[in-house]
Homo-oligomer: A and B are copies of this chain.
Amino acid sequence: MPRGQCGGQGWWHGKFRGCGYRMTLGREAILDVLSKAEGHLSAEDIYIKIHSRYPNVGLTTIYRTLDVLSDVGMVYKLDFGDGRARYEFAEGPKGVHHHHHLVCTECHKIIDYTDFIDDEVELLNQTEKGLGQKYKFKITNHLIQFYGVCQECSDKK
């Protein structure tokens, strides 16, 4: 059965299997944490959250699983500039609200915002289409982040 690419039916367990991957306890645990977290977790964050209940899921497995999830598109891998990758659940069965990020370059606080998102997304879709055609790219994803200094960090000066 072909792997790595995924048609995309069913959900989660099903989707996973449908992509030719096996479903294991560790993967289940990771998906569970990610889907509930609503946040931006590092591999280690996940490891810690999982470890109490699943002491025998190793960090290596977490990295591997995150890679897989990222390839399949169930998880976004993000870089906020603090030297470790963050992972965020891409979309639930009902479609999680799309959002973008506001990153404080001082304290690395992250704000998810959904304001203005509609216009942004519409423009992005157009651009995506245009770019895809012009450069013969199959565009699968986009990233928008704003950088700046949050109020607290501004005040500290």
Chain A residues near B (Cβ < 8 Å): 77, 79, 81, 102, 104-105, 111, 113, 115-116, 119-120, 123, 126-128, 130-132, 134-151, 154
Contact = CB atoms under 8 A, between A and B. Distances in A.
Given A131-B146, A142-B147, 5 more contacts: A79-B79, A102-B139, A115-B130, A135-B150, A143-B143
A115 B139 contact: no
Chain copies in the assembled complex = 2
Nearest to A71: B105
B151 A147 contact: no
A145 B131 CA distance: 11
A78 to B, nearest CB: 9
B150 A137 contact: yes
Nearest to A157: B5
A146 B104 CA distance: 22
